[in-house]
Amino acid sequence: MYTHTKDFLDKLTPLTAFEVLEEGNKRFVSNLKINRNLLQQMNDTANGQYPFAAVLSCMDSRTSTELVFDQGLGDIFSIRIAGNVVNDDIVGSMEYACNVVGSKLIVVLGHSRCGAVKGACDHVEMGNLTGLLEKIKPAIEKIDDHLPHPEFSMYHEKVAHANVLQSLEEILERSSIIRSLYKEGKIGLVGGMYSVETGRVSFIKKMFAEPISEKASVAV
């Protein structure tokens, strides 16, 4: 398996970058992962890296983005924090990925059975975690508006879904750099939900300034 190069990155579009991740997850679910020489990839990337996507995901041990998207060393920037929430440092990291390195895609990946989402729903308060869980509260408020008496386990999944959309909104609101790159068609933004039960990623929001094929149609 080849290591991604600058030439590969330069030729990639935001939409094809998305399709690389989409196909990678299909391989993961089917247990058809590409056989990579990780030592060779380590050597190939020692003097430079060309990741094509930046993925913000939860720190949950079951949701390693390199694994669930079947990617190797140097392929993606992986940003992990409980509840896949957004702060200035995370947005700054994305600005570096896209505006300096040239990554073509930003992904926010939530997941089923998320402990951070459950903690926010249960109003958990514990040291510095309290402030982190507060960042999920806007998603809870959006769900409460139209689901006054939800079934509890389903409620958590709906909050996790809304939290992904909330994070995408915050990224665009906080960063004029990312907004400009998106409007110019240089990057795309995608939100997804990973199932810890099946390994499948369901893409729930796709934002591309370029024309979108039927395969990658917008889903909100």
- Among 29-38, 108-117, 173-182, 194-203, which is the least confidently predicted range? 29-38
Question: Which amino acid is located at 8 in the chain?
Answer: F
Average pLDDT, the chain: 88
pLDDT at residue 210, as a whole number: 63
- For the entire predicted model, the pTM comes to 0.87
pLDDT at residue 46, as a whole number: 74
Helices (H), the chain: 6-11, 14-29, 38-44, 65-68, 88-95, 115-121, 129-134, 137-146, 152-174, 176-183
Nearest partner of 116 among 203, 57, 190, judged by Cα: 57
Share of the chain above pLDDT 90, in %: 72
Domain coordinates in residue numbering, the chain: 6-216
Length of the chain counted residue by residue: 220
pLDDT tens digits, one per residue of 148-172: 434 445 888 999 999 999 999 999 9
pLDDT at residue 220, as a whole number: 26
Under 8 Å between Cβ of 55 and 98: no
Confidence of residue 9 (pLDDT cuts 50, 70, 90): confident
pLDDT at residue 144, as a whole number: 58
CATH of 6-216, one of 3.40.1050.10, 1.10.150.120, 1.10.3210.10, 1.10.357.10: 3.40.1050.10
pLDDT at residue 167, as a whole number: 97
3 state DSSP class of 207: strand
CA dist 138 → 51, 121, 141, 164, 169 (Å): 31, 11, 5, 11, 11
